A and B are shown apart, each in its own frame.
Chain A
Amino acid sequence: MLHYIGRRLLQLIPVLLGMTFIVFMIIRAIPGDPAQVILGQQASEEAIKALRTNLGLDNPWYIQYFDYLKGLITGDLGESLRTRTPVVDEVWPYLAATIELSLFAIIIAVVIGINAGIISAWFQNSWFDYLAMIIALIGVSMPIFWLGLMNQWIFSIELGILPTTGRENVRDPVDVITGFYVLDTLIAGDFNQLSTVLKHLVLPGTALATIPMAIIARMTRSSMLEVMRSDFVRTARSKGLSMFWVVYKHALKNAIIPVLTIIGLQMGLLLGGAILTETIFGWPGIGRYIYEAIGFRDYPVIQSGILIVAFIFVMINLIVDLLYGLVDPRIKYD
Chain B
Amino acid sequence: MGKKKFLTWSLLLLLLVSTALFGCSSDDSSEEGGSEGGSTEEKTLIFGRGGDSVSLDPIAVTDGESFKVTKNIFDTLVNFGEQDTEIEPGLASEWTPSEDGLTYTFKLQEGVKFHDGTDFNAEAVVKNFERWAAGDGEQFPYYGSMFGGYGDDEGHVIESVEATGDYEVVFKLKRPQAPFLKNLAMSPFAIASPTAVEEAGDSFGDNPVGTGPFKFVEWKRNDTITIEKFDDYWVDGEPKLDQVVFRAIPDNSARLNALLSGEIDLADGITPSDAGTIEGDDNLQLFERPSMNVGYLGMTVTREPFDDPKVRQAVNHAIDKQAIVDAFFEGRAEVAKNPIPPVISGYNDSIEDYEYSPEKAKELLAEAGLSDGFDMELYAMPVPRPYMPDGQKVAEAIQKNLADVGINAKIVSFEWATYLEKAANGEADAFLLGWTGDNGDADNFLYALLDQDNVGTNNYTYYENQELHDLLIKAQSEVDEDVRNDLYMQAQEIIHEDAPWVPLAHSTPLLAGGKNVMNFKAHPTGSDKLASVDLE
Assess the B137–A284 pair: CB atoms within 8 A: no
Cβ of B235 under 8 Å from chain A: no
In the bound complex, do residue B421 and residue A282 qualify as a contact, i.e. CB atoms below 8 Å apart? no
A36 to B422, CA, bound (A): 12
**What A residues does B417 contact at CB under 8 A?**
31-33, 36-37, 295-297
Q: How far is the CB of B67 from chain A (nearest CB, A)?
A: 12
B25, A198: Cβ atoms under 8 Å? yes
Q: How far is the CB of B18 from chain A (nearest CB, A)?
A: 9
| Contact with A196, one of B21, B31, B247 (Cβ below 8 angstroms) | B31
Please tell me which one of the listed residues B46, B422, B424 contacts residue A170 in the complex, with CB atoms under 8 A apart. Answer: B46
Q: Are B32 and A169 touching (Cβ within 8 A)? A: yes
Check: A243 CB closer than 8 A to any chain B CB. yes
Chain A 262-297 per-residue mask, 1 if CB under 8 angstroms from chain B, else 0: 000000000000000001111010001100101111
Query: B255 — which chain A residues lie within 8 A by C-beta?
Result: 165, 282
How many A residues have CB within 8 A of the partner chain? 75
Contacts of A54 on B, CB cut-off 8 Å? 138
Set A39, A94, A161: member contacting B138, Cβ < 8 A: A39
From B145, B218, B258, give the contact of A173 (CB < 8 A): B218
Interface digits, B19-35 against A, CB 8 Å rule (1 contact, 0 not)?
A: 00110111111011110
Q: How large is the interface on B (under 10, 10 to 19, 20 to 34, 35 or more residues)?
A: 35 or more
Tell me whether B257 is interfacial, beta carbon within 8 Å. Answer: yes
A40: Cβ under 8 A from any B Cβ: yes
Contact assessment for A156 and B257 in the assembled complex, using a CB-CB cutoff below 8 Å: yes
Give every chain A residue within 8 A of B253 (Cβ-Cβ): 149, 280
Give bound CA distance, A41 to B48, whole Å.
25
Report chain A residues within 8 Å CB of B458: 41-42
Residues of A that sit less than 8 Å from B by CB: 30-33, 36-37, 39-48, 50-51, 54, 82-84, 90, 93-94, 111-112, 115, 119, 122-123, 126, 128, 145, 148-149, 152-153, 156-157, 160-167, 169-173, 176, 192, 195-196, 198-199, 202, 242-244, 279-282, 284, 288-289, 292, 294-297
Chain B residues with CB below 8 A from A37, complex form: 417, 420
CB of B141 closer than 8 Å to a CB of A: yes
Contact B25 A161 (CB under 8 A): yes
A170 touches B457 (CB 8 A): no
Contact status B141-A43, CB under 8 Å: yes
Shortest CB-to-CB span from A225 to chain B, Å, is 16
Whether A160 touches B33, Cβ cut-off 8 Å, given contacts A42-B438, A170-B224, is yes
Contact A44 B7, beta carbon cutoff 8 Å:
no
Q: Is the CB of A281 within 8 A of B254?
A: yes
Interface pairs (10), CB distance under 8 Å = A40-B141, A41-B62, A41-B420, A50-B137, A50-B138, A90-B221, A165-B257, A242-B1, A280-B254, A284-B223
- A195 contacts which chain B residues (CB < 8 A)? 24-25, 27-28
Bound-state Cα–Cα, A288 to B51, Å: 11
Residue of A43, A164, A195 with most chain B CB atoms under a 10 A cut-off: A164
Q: With an 8 A cutoff between CB atoms, is B165 at the interface?
A: no
Establish whether residues A199 and B137, one from each chain, have CB atoms under 8 Å apart when the complex forms.
Answer: no
